[in-house]
Chain A
Amino acid sequence: MDFELNDTQRLVQQTARDFAQKTILPVAAAIDKEERFPADVMRGLAELGLLAVNVPERLGGAEAGTVSYALAMMEVARTCASCAVTMAVTNMVGEVIARFGTPAQAEKYCRGLADGSLVAGAFALSEPEAGSDPGSMRTSARKVGDQWILDGQKQWITSGAHAGVMVVWARTGGPGTGGISCFLVEKGTKGLIIGKHEDKMGLRGSNTVGLAFDGCAVPESALLGELGGGFKIAMMALDGGRIGISSQAIGIASAALDEAVAYAKDRKQFGKPIAEFQAMQWQIADCRTELDAARLLCFRAAALKEAGKPHAKEASMSKVYSTEAAVRICNRSVQIHGGYGYTREFAAERHLRDVRVTTIYEGTSEIQRTVIARSVLR
């Protein structure tokens, strides 16, 4: 039993922290306010190896493991959650291609995702009418000659307008989860239509769009993994993705707590800093306790994934707990800041808007509970 970080993990954490604090933090409020896609930040992250933390070195990645990835995500999310989710999806796409792709596919895309030349990766699973129930998706892929023709719509696609490559799920067989396959679609492919940018409550710097596939033709070589094996790839990717979103939530919440602590020590009422009132101390103690619990659940899931062990239940536990705790923590941070917490003068309100999505995307809390319950009731 050892809860300490190893040298690699500490190095990744420090590298991410330095970059995030020096380069991202000063522009985080502007990224949010101007809904600016953080292209510069993504280039910086690429230079540090943080867009492919857990991708093999031979494919251009940092090969630093899942715990390192979680640590890097936490540090970036502490400064800018929009940057963090863009980073998370890119890492996830790189990992999926490295794991399930042919050597040619991996060679073609992983390096470009890692070095930033593909800008970002995107993960196109959800549809307007298929969210928690991806097995009901309607997007189809037909084999015509040596090509696959994709038709249908995808929804809530992070980085959809910027991603150099996206992983797209489509139905190639009968109904249900067994008839789904996975394809790699490059930016600019004819028949791939980028929809309008979603106007969101938070993560305003991350790009979220709907996609339409209108007779979108991709070569035979675009099939990722086995024909009909798409659902399995999606679920495995999401197990890892949930560690990423847990880390994002933890990062946002730790910023919210740090700021609440600083404010509580500074702000005076009734003749003393509000930190001296138990009403404030209690909220801060609960934030700290829940944040520590979230971190440990996240590290456990990451350590299991890194060791190649089953981690679906643990990733779901990490996600549901971390994200719901993070929402509570960000909410308390606004409360501790009082009226100032409701203004854009302080970051507390941005954290609350940003964190709210974490209980929804990459599997809602309800889906996580379904996964956990299924496992414990077995």
Chain B
Amino acid sequence: MDLELTEEQQMMRDTARDFAQKEVAPKAAELDKTGRWPSEIVARMGEMGLMGVAIPAEHGGAGMDAISYALAMEEMCAACASSGVIMSVNNSLYCDPINKYGTPAQKERWLAPYASGKKLGCFGLTEPMSGSDAQTMATFAERKGDKWVINGSKNWITNGPHADTILVFCITERPAGGTAENPGGKVKHTAFLVDRGTKGYTQAKHDEKLGIHAAHSCTVFFENVEVSDEHRLGPVGDGFKVAMSTLDGGRIGIASQALGIARAAFEKATAYAKERKSFGTVIANHQAIAFMLADMATEIDAARLLIWRAAAMKDKGVRHTTESAIAKLFASEMATRVAHKAIQIHGGYGYSQEFAVERHYRDARITEIYEGTSEIQRIVIAANTLK
């Protein structure tokens, strides 16, 4: 039992914190308000190794571990949750599966430029009619000679409007007589890499959301998109496995995002409580406020430990599906509670855009939904506990 960070991990945290606080935090309110895509921050994240934290250096990454990645995500999201999720999609949902399942040629073409931040990736699993129940997707890839022809659409694709490549999951086999609407029986999925500019691959205008305004997401369409077999990631029929194991890592990223948002809200609430006076004393001296802060601090620490545990298991190569789900469920619901309390402590000012806590509250809310809703996490955790 050793819960200390290594020197390398501390360095990653400090570097990320320094960058996030100096270069990102001052822009966060403006990014939220305008919904501007933070291209300059994305570029800087690339330069700093934040776009491929746990990807080996030979593939363009920073060559660090999953704990370092979690630390960097926490720091980035404490400054700007939009920038954080752009980073997490590129790291966890795009680079990580290519690093794990890609051939050497695929890594050279589709990993190194992305892990080093020169290019940007995104991940296409969810569809308009298929969210938590990912197996019911309709997007189909049909084999035609040495090519695959993809038809369908994917939505809520974070980074979609800007990404150079999408990792997209398609059905490649359905039982005879099955249709897109009703596949009937067991279908098989396969993952493909599709580059921006490929004929028939188009992106809709970006979504308007409650929070994470600067992290653009959109619906993408595949209309007779032709790719060669070199674009297939992993074995034919293994797509669902690729998606699920990717999400085990992705959930560590989103849990860290929630943690960062919560920490920012907590730090602002603490500072405000020490300044603001009521009934003749600073409100921090009222137990009603102090106890809220105590609960926030406790839950933040618990979430961080759960995240580090899942990340440490990932680093050891141990299966961590349940632990990632636990970390994600706890951290995301915690972040909403903490941001809620941060607004309460700020009173009327908390509801105004003059203070950042209302942004943290809006940003936190998504963490309970994407990369597996809280309900999906509970299914995963219950299944493991009831085994």
The reply to whether the CB of A328 lies closer than 8 angstroms to some CB of chain B is no
The reply to whether B298 and A320 contact each other, CB–CB distance below 8 Å, is yes
Q: Which of B240-298 contact A (CB under 8 A)?
A: 270, 273-274, 284, 287, 290-291, 293-295, 297-298
CA A376 – CA B290 in complex, angstroms? Answer: 9
Q: Which residues from B are CB-within-8-Å of A275?
A: 386
Question: Looking at chain B's contact residues, is the secondary structure mostly helix, strand, loop, or mixed?
Answer: helix
Question: Looking at chain A's contact residues, is the secondary structure mostly helix, strand, loop, or mixed?
Answer: helix
With known contacts A3-B312, A261-B385, A303-B2, A289–B298 Cβ distance under 8 A = no
The reply to whether B295 and A289 contact each other, CB–CB distance below 8 Å, is no
Q: Which of A1-36 contact B (CB under 8 A)?
A: 1-6, 9
The reply to whether B9 and A297 contact each other, CB–CB distance below 8 Å, is no
Q: Which residues from A are CB-within-8-Å of B6?
A: 1
Q: How many residues of B contact A (CB 8 A)?
A: 44
CA A293 – CA B255 in complex, angstroms? Answer: 14
Q: Which residues from A are CB-within-8-Å of B301?
A: 297, 300, 314, 317
User: Which of A6, A265, A292, A377 meets B293, CB within 8 Å?
Assistant: A377
CA A9 – CA B305 in complex, angstroms? Answer: 20
Closest B residue to A296 by beta carbon equals B305
Among A80-88, A177-185, A354-362, A365-373, the stretch in contact with B:
A365-373
The reply to whether B382 and A292 contact each other, CB–CB distance below 8 Å, is no
The reply to whether the CB of B1 lies closer than 8 angstroms to some CB of chain A is yes
The reply to whether the CB of B157 lies closer than 8 angstroms to some CB of chain A is no
Q: Which residues from B are CB-within-8-Å of A282?
A: 378, 382
Nearest-Cβ distance from residue A335 to partner chain B, whole angstroms: 15
How many A-B pairs fall under 8 Å by CB?
132
Nearest-Cβ distance from residue B257 to partner chain A, whole angstroms: 18
The reply to whether the CB of B166 lies closer than 8 angstroms to some CB of chain A is no
User: Which of B1, B329, B382 meets A4, CB within 8 Å?
Assistant: B1
The reply to whether A284 and B382 contact each other, CB–CB distance below 8 Å, is yes
Q: Which residues from A are CB-within-8-Å of B299?
A: 321
The reply to whether B297 and A288 contact each other, CB–CB distance below 8 Å, is no
**Chain A interfacial positions (CB closer than 8 Å to B):** 1-6, 9, 67, 257, 261, 264-265, 275, 278, 281-282, 284-290, 292-294, 296-297, 299-300, 302-303, 314, 317, 320-321, 366, 368-370, 372-374, 376-377
**Chain B interfacial positions (CB closer than 8 Å to A):** 1-6, 9, 67, 270, 273-274, 284, 287, 290-291, 293-295, 297-299, 301-303, 305-306, 308-309, 311-313, 323, 326, 329-330, 377-379, 381-386
In the complex, 21 of the A-B residue pairs with CB atoms within 8 angstroms, ordered by the A residue number, are A1-B4, A1-B312, A3-B308, A281-B379, A284-B385, A285-B378, A285-B379, A288-B326, A288-B382, A288-B384, A292-B326, A293-B305, A297-B298, A299-B3, A300-B301, A314-B301, A320-B295, A369-B287, A369-B294, A377-B270, A377-B274
